[in-house]
Structure 1
Amino acid sequence: MVGTKKVIFAEFGGPDVLRLTDADEPHAGPGQIRIAVRAAAVNAHDWRLREGQFQQARPIELPAGIGIEGAGVVDEIGAGVTGFEVGDRVFGEGSSTFAEYAVLSVWARMPEGLAFEEAAGYPSVVETALRVLHEVGVRPGQTLLVSGASGGAGSAVLQVARDRGIKVIGTAGAANQDYVRSLGALATTYGEGWVERVRRFGPVDAALDLAGSGVVRELVELTGDPRKVISIADLGAPEFGVRFSGVAGSLPDALAEAVGLIARGRLRIPVEKTYPLAETAAAHVDSQAGHTRGRRVIAV
């Protein structure tokens, strides 16, 4: 079997457990495709998996690959797949995408004019944005507060909400205030006094915690109703009556909506930094530090 390069970890731990190694090429099973990976996005899920945070809920066997989404060129098509050919440029989700070759289980054609590095960063954050906007029940004309507005999911939420006629207030670091405003939101910094700064913008109808920075209690206070708050990052949210949203919705639908929004010029998620495969550990360090503007991507 032909060999390929792939990032794996053989034990749970910090970024130093990641290794770029030679591995057997994966192959597309029924209903799957294999891509020659051009770029793979870095997600919080990746380093949480590496640390062993999911072992009780979803155990994995070691050694394991890493990376759940990517973009590249189709080079193998599994049984039952129609409408795609070898050579097509696609983006989507699969497994072990921090590699030269990876199998995708859900994918779509890349929109015209989109670079591989950009495309790799869309699937999970657009799915997350569409899911939490639906779950929180915010409607056109209402005001949504987004804590952690400048990251990948925040960037998607702000733009989808704007497209739907929802007013957004976003909290982010001082360096990202202009970025949040550029996405159509009102912006303020987090930190001491942030609740009062938000109040000056007026009433808040719903709120999203995308950063897990311990603000769920305040979000409930601002909305007046724990049912109007959703968190994707604070496992302690249910203690305040707030729903923790961790189960993905329909990725094919999310990819289709993303393609439409991108084509209409209504969605653009920037890439803050790219890393080669050999520097995946550095990408994890930066991802865990937060303060991202858009996405971090492994370029293969």
Structure 2
Amino acid sequence: MRKVSFAEFGGPDVLELLDAEEPHAGPGQVRIAVRAAGVNPVDWRLREGQVLGAHPLELPAGLGLDAAGVVDEVGEGVDGVGVGDPVFGEGFDTYAEFAVLSAWARMPEGLTFEEAAGYPSVVETALRVIREVGVRPGQTLLVSGASGGVGSAVLQIARDRGIPVIGTAGAANQDYLRDLGAVPTTYGEGWVERVRRLGHVDAALDLAGSGVIRELVELTGDPRRVVSIADLGAPEYGVRFSGVAGSVPDALAEAVGLIARGRLHIPVEKAYPLADAAAAHIDSQAGHTRGRRVLLV
């Protein structure tokens, strides 16, 4: 099979599409013929050697956590799913023609493989940070970097729970945030005052890692009311850096329910052939994403 791999840490150019041995499902796992794989910021952070404490790996290594595809091998102890079933979920080395998943769910009706590959890690992360920041219905949540995959999920989950959101994003994504139920404003010079004019902030999420932790603490008045998934320096300000996943099966189950009720939709901004993983990483690192980026197999 073909698989994206890298033998040294570095820029996008270290990624190679190589022939590799097929993986096989172990106990409690399924293997899928991958149709699409999600591209997450953690992927390029791993490629650069940034987050090895939370995600240890040995080189050469593959990449990818999220995928959607068709089950073609079922491990011991697995029930409720069989060969030929379309599923989406989370595993390892999903930038490949075959991948093993450790958490999965049947694909909701009407969702394409391309769309489904963008949900697993994004929804788990969104649910986790909303829980960790402790925001409740009626309290206002500020989301910095709100137009990407996690931001798109946070905004819609918050709307479903009755949590008002102020979201920051580029000028081109203001209407997109508004469509997802947020009160939008732009980042850049003067953004803190623009947020203050929009109202009191009870809690805040940093999803972009754009060096705004100090300002988020200032706006909330309490570092315990701020959570970051993107700024490794956040703990210096007393802010929690959230990098350890919670229950992915529970997150997938909630995602399926939200999708079925029409309360969650994460668009795919761009899809790339598997051979163009480096280009997907370059675009992901550049930011300004609206929704998700995926690789097609």
Q: TM-score range by the shorter chain?
A: over 0.9
- Which residue of the partner structure matches residue 213 of structure 1? 210
- Shift of the 270–165 alpha-carbon distance from structure 1 to 2, 3 Å rule, reads same
**Partner Cα distance (2:8, 2:217) in 1:** 39
- Which residue of the partner structure matches residue 97 of structure 1? 94
Q: Are 2:197 and 1:200 equivalent residues in the alignment?
A: yes
Q: Are 2:27 and 1:30 equivalent residues in the alignment?
A: yes
- Which residue of the partner structure matches residue 164 of structure 1? 161
Q: Are 2:147 and 1:150 equivalent residues in the alignment?
A: yes
RMSD (Å), alpha carbons: 0.9
- Which residue of the partner structure matches residue 18 of structure 1? 15
Gaps (5+ residues) in structure 1?
Answer: none
Q: Are 2:104 and 1:107 equivalent residues in the alignment?
A: yes
**Partner Cα distance (2:53, 2:104) in 1:** 29
199, 219, 222: which one aligns with 1:222: 219
- Shift of the 56–156 alpha-carbon distance from structure 1 to 2, 3 Å rule, reads closer
Residues 244-259 of structure 1: matches in 2 within 5 Å?
244-259=241-256
**Partner Cα distance (2:105, 2:223) in 1:** 36
Residues 23-172 of structure 1: matches in 2 within 5 Å?
23-55=20-52, 58-172=55-169
**Partner Cα distance (1:53, 1:223) in 2:** 28
- Which residue of the partner structure matches residue 282 of structure 2? 285
**Partner Cα distance (2:153, 2:56) in 1:** 30
Aligned amino acid, residue 236 of structure 2: E
Moved more, 133-142 or 184-193: 133-142
- Shift of the 26–163 alpha-carbon distance from structure 1 to 2, 3 Å rule, reads same
Partner secondary structure for residue 239 of structure 1: helix
**Partner Cα distance (1:55, 1:243) in 2:** 18
Conserved 8 A contact 2:135-2:203? yes
Partner secondary structure for residue 32 of structure 2: strand
Show CA shifts across 1:155-187 (max 9, x none). 000000000001000000111111010100000
Partner secondary structure for residue 261 of structure 1: helix
TM-superposed CA distance for 1:55, in Å, is: 3.7
TM-superposed CA distance for 1:10, in Å, is: 1.1
Partner secondary structure for residue 20 of structure 2: strand
- Shift of the 103–132 alpha-carbon distance from structure 1 to 2, 3 Å rule, reads same
Show CA shifts across 1:24-53 (max 9, x none). 111111110000000000011111111112
Partner secondary structure for residue 200 of structure 1: helix
Conserved 8 A contact 2:135-2:141? yes
- Which residue of the partner structure matches residue 6 of structure 2? 9
- Shift of the 283–170 alpha-carbon distance from structure 1 to 2, 3 Å rule, reads same
Aligned amino acid, residue 202 of structure 2: D
**Partner Cα distance (1:260, 1:238) in 2:** 34
TM-score computed with the length of structure 2 as normaliser: 0.98
**Partner Cα distance (2:179, 2:145) in 1:** 15
TM-superposed CA distance for 1:223, in Å, is: 0.8
Partner secondary structure for residue 87 of structure 2: strand
Show CA shifts across 1:90-137 (max 9, x none). 000111101111000110101000000110010111111111111111
Partner secondary structure for residue 24 of structure 1: coil
Gaps (5+ residues) in structure 2?
Answer: none
Partner secondary structure for residue 266 of structure 1: coil
Show CA shifts across 1:56-106 (max 9, x none). 554422111111110000000011101111010000011110111100011
- How many aligned residue pairs are there? 297
- Shift of the 57–42 alpha-carbon distance from structure 1 to 2, 3 Å rule, reads closer
**Partner Cα distance (1:189, 1:61) in 2:** 40
Show CA shifts across 1:229-248 (max 9, x none). 11111111111111111111
- Shift of the 235–52 alpha-carbon distance from structure 1 to 2, 3 Å rule, reads same
**Partner Cα distance (2:133, 2:181) in 1:** 20
Partner secondary structure for residue 179 of structure 1: helix
Aligned amino acid, residue 180 of structure 1: L
